[in-house]
Amino acid sequence: MRLFELAHGVPGAIVDGDGGAEISGVQPDSRRVKPGDLFVAVPGIRADGHAFIADAVAAGAAAVAVQSDAQVPNGVAALRFPSTRSALGELAAEFYGRPARQLKVAGVTGTDGKTTTTHMAEHVLQAGGIVAGAMSTVAYSVAGRESDNTSGQTTTDAHEIQAWLKEMVDAGVRCAVIETTSHALVQERVNACDFDVAAFTNVGHDHLDYHATWEDYLEAKARLIDLAAKAADKGIEKTAVLNRDDPSYERLSRRPISRRWSYGLTTAADFHPLELGMTDAGAHFRLKTPLASTTPCARPACASRSAFRSKMWAEGLRASRACAAVSSASTWARTSACSSISRIPPVRWRARLPSCARSRREG
């Protein structure tokens, strides 16, 4: 792809120099630049990528992307942007052919339960015969093939997200589920993901070292709804999936978007479990949805019988949440998503967290 072609598809790009430079990759880390890459100089917390432009050029960068007023070595082609942080995801998305626009994409955010919900939704889709992919704290999954997330971030960097989405498209994936943190939303890592669904678990009082107040934290989370509301049209309604039992519900439900679905234990929720019971085999319940009257569901028993009653309610809530998320993104799910809940294994992702993921947990 030529530099001018890449620039044409990215809002705000100004070509400075040889627009005919051939670009073979997009990379914001000067240490990982390969010959032909576009090096994107992003100002960071610890370092400013503009300080490493010379290193990137020495490593073979074909061009650089910089902030509007940045200095560039003579003879080096450049793209100029008001904000390279905002531009990084757009550049990568354009380079990879806008993969998110070829998928139905659900973002899952919240304080607790993001990883569980992400993979539960993925498994619901897979169990129903829809080729799915997922990105989470612990794993990247592409059409059933899974690899550990060793990035040290729950939601990886913008260019890597786009590379994974491209891999999903190439593998025939139809629906992708992305665990999406408040850090990623504030740092604009997911701006080019063209979300169709914005799903929320809960909004607690974590990560106030990064967000000054709970209100700031909630506002960061709410950006997921804003991204979905303005994303590319793929022929389905943009949907927010909200926890009716959580204090965040009232404020999030006022965020403009085409459709809102709620889940919870309260019967006022669009998705809620009914007639919860337990046997030695596990939890069983009926799931009330806006798509059908009720659907029978079952979940396997947990290891500790003494903890099972609380787990029973949790499984009912998780099932409601996962089904609401995938039903928003998939035509198939409107009739049979909920019945797939009983066919997926218990999810215990926390035990699998790599040490790097634990050390840099985002919310």
**Tens-digit pLDDT profile for residues 263-287:** 988 889 998 888 877 777 766 778 8
Distance from C-alpha of 265 to C-alpha of 327, rounded to nearest angstrom:
18
3-state helix, strand, coil in the chain (%, to 5): 35, 25, 40
99-349 has which fold?
A: UDP-N-acetylmuramoyl-L-alanine:D-glutamate ligase (3.40.1190)
Residue 141 near residue 119 (C-beta atoms within 8 A): yes
- What's the pLDDT score for residue 348? 44
Tell me which residue of 50, 55, 182, 170 sits closest to 107, measured CA to CA. Answer: 182
Tell me which residue of 68, 92, 88 sits closest to 80, measured CA to CA. Answer: 68
What CATH code is assigned to 3-95?
A: 3.40.1390.10
Hey, what are 42's tokens? 């992003």
Domain residue extents for the chain: 3-95, 99-349
- What's the pLDDT score for residue 346? 53
**CB neighbours of 361 closer than 8 A, spacing ≥ 6?**
137, 154
Hey, what are 145's tokens? 């093939």
Q: Do domains 3-95 and 99-349 have the same CATH topology?
A: no
- What's the pLDDT score for residue 56? 98
Tell me which residue of 54, 76, 53, 45 sits closest to 63, measured CA to CA. Answer: 76
Tens-digit pLDDT string for the chain (363 aa): 999 999 999 999 999 999 999 999 999 999 999 999 999 999 988 899 999 999 999 999 999 999 999 999 999 999 999 999 999 999 999 999 999 999 999 999 999 989 988 998 898 888 878 899 999 999 999 999 999 998 888 889 999 999 999 999 999 999 999 999 999 999 999 999 999 999 999 998 765 666 679 899 999 999 999 999 999 999 999 999 999 999 999 999 999 999 999 998 888 999 888 887 777 776 677 888 887 667 677 666 554 444 444 555 566 666 677 777 776 666 545 545 555 655 555 554 444 544 444 444 566
- What's the pLDDT score for residue 321? 77
| Tokens 């999903």, residue located | 168
Q: What does pTM read for this prediction?
A: 0.88
- What's the pLDDT score for residue 95? 99
- Give all strands of the β-sheet with 272-279 in edge-to-edge order: 272-279, 282-288, 294-300
In the chain, the amino acid numbered 86 is S
**Tens-digit pLDDT profile for residues 9-24:** 999 999 999 999 999 9
